[in-house]
């Protein structure tokens, strides 16, 4: 028998109570960011002056109490598994898709991980919450030496403290992240070598390689009482292979942020763009692009090539597991963009430039 609305709300209330206790306990061990007021920080919380506020907790209850959506398979294994080389030298670029929003980028003799998640769930709990339906495209023990990790924001499907601890123990990488997320990481593991920066800060990674944090239309939270206490960002990477525009989570809005990136930081050789976690649109529109909007973002930012992410690994929203790639193919065809220009990879697949 399908659960009733009352049952769903009661279950959600129970999980919320547990989450509240956990979030409160963690908050006691963590101090939030303190810094000067700016156009996107009021001294307490961050905001995007060109964005929209996240939906309320009441809206979240409404979504969960009426939630239907398409079922995902228990497992959807990828036929690929990558064992990367130790280094990729010179102006070659090797991009390996780990899954969801996680990539390994190799160029100029430097190895960079983007939003690494090797955990089984993206949740404050290890027993409930979105569970991966395919293994990471690179086995953890097959990773080459990791020099730098870029973490875009604090949501659990992007900031995975357990994976960061494993990376810290095995590789001792620099971790670069927006303001406030350093406190999340060091509260979990003081050994994580994290550095926090503001929008438009430029960070030297290696000779000929730098990362600039850039604004996106999103938000942050890890519990009920820390909404927008940490900053979110994308990255513009300067590499020997050209500039790479890394968009983590973002709504589209009027396209301002993507046009801004082109004008201020372009031209881009490659854009890495999200295409999933977009349904229902009334709830997700302001914070997550759908595939048609991802195509518009690609055109707005002016990149030569694009690679999709944020699909096919964790069921976070209501669309079917194969809906984002199908919708992207339709949107690309309508815009006369070939599949070789806006690529969709499976975990373990590699793009080489």
H or E segment to which residue 350 belongs = strand 350-352
Which segments of 153-232 does DSSP mark as H helices, in order? 161-171, 181-188
- Position 12 scores a pLDDT of 44
93-352: CATH number: 3.60.15.10
- Position 20 scores a pLDDT of 45
List the single range of 29-33, 125-129, 198-202, 227-231 with lowest mean pLDDT.
29-33
Span 178-202, mean pLDDT?
98
Q: Give residue-wise pLDDT tens across range 275-334.
A: 999 999 999 999 999 999 999 999 999 999 999 999 999 999 999 999 999 999 999 999
What whole-number distance in Å separates Cα of residue 89 and Cα of residue 101? Answer: 24
- Position 30 scores a pLDDT of 67
* Higher-pLDDT residue of 54, 238: 238
What whole-number distance in Å separates Cα of residue 323 and Cα of residue 330? Answer: 11
Question: pTM for the full model?
Answer: 0.92
> Measured in Å, how far apart are the chain's first and last C-alpha atoms?
52
Query: Residue 55 pLDDT > 80, yes or no?
Result: yes
* Proportion of the chain in helix, strand, coil states, percent, rounded to 5: 25, 20, 55
- Annotated domain spans of the chain: 93-352
- Position 200 scores a pLDDT of 98
- Position 62 scores a pLDDT of 86
Q: Give residue-wise pLDDT tens across range 328-337.
A: 999 999 999 9
- Position 29 scores a pLDDT of 52
- Position 60 scores a pLDDT of 83
């Amino acid at each position: 028998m399908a659960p009733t609305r009352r049952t769903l709300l009661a279950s959600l209330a129970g999980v919320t109570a547990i989450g509240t206790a956990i979030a409160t306990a963690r908050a006691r061990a963590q101090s939030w960011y303190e810094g000067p007021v700016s156009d996107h920080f009021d001294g307490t919380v961050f905001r995007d002056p060109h964005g929209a506020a996240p939906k309320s907790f009441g809206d979240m209850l409404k979504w969960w109490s009426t939630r239907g959506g398409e079922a995902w398979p228990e497992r959807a294994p990828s036929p690929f598994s990558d064992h990367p080389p130790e280094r990729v030298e010179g102006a070659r670029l090797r991009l390996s898709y780990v899954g969801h929003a996680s990539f390994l980028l190799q160029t100029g003799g430097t190895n960079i991980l983007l939003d690494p998640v090797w955990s089984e769930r993206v949740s404050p709990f290890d027993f409930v919450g979105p569970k991966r339906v395919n293994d990471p495209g690179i086995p953890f023990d097959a990773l080459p030496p990791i020099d730098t990790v870029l973490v875009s924001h604090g949501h659990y499907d992007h900031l995975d403290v357990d994976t960061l601890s494993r990376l810290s123990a095995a590789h001792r990488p620099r971790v670069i992240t927006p303001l406030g997320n350093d406190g999340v990481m060091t509260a979990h593991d003081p050994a994580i070598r994290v550095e926090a920066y503001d929008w438009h800060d430029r960070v030297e990674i290696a000779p000929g390689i730098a990362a600039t944090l850039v604004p996106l239309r999103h938000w942050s939270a890890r519990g009920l009482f820390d909404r927008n206490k940490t900053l979110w960002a994308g990255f513009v990477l300067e590499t020997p292979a050209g500039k790479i525009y890394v968009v983590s989570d973002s709504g589209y809005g009027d396209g301002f942020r993507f046009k801004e990136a082109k004008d201020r930081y372009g031209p881009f050789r490659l854009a890495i763009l999200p295409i999933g976690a977009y349904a229902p649109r009334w709830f997700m529109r302001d914070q997550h692009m759908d595939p048609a909007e991802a195509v518009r973002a690609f055109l707005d930012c002016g990149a030569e090539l694009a690679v999709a992410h944020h699909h096919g690994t964790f069921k976070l929203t209501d669309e079917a597991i194969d809906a984002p790639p199908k919708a992207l193919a339709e949107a690309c065809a309508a815009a006369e963009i070939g599949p070789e220009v806006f690529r969709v990879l499976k975990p373990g697949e590699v793009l080489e430039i």
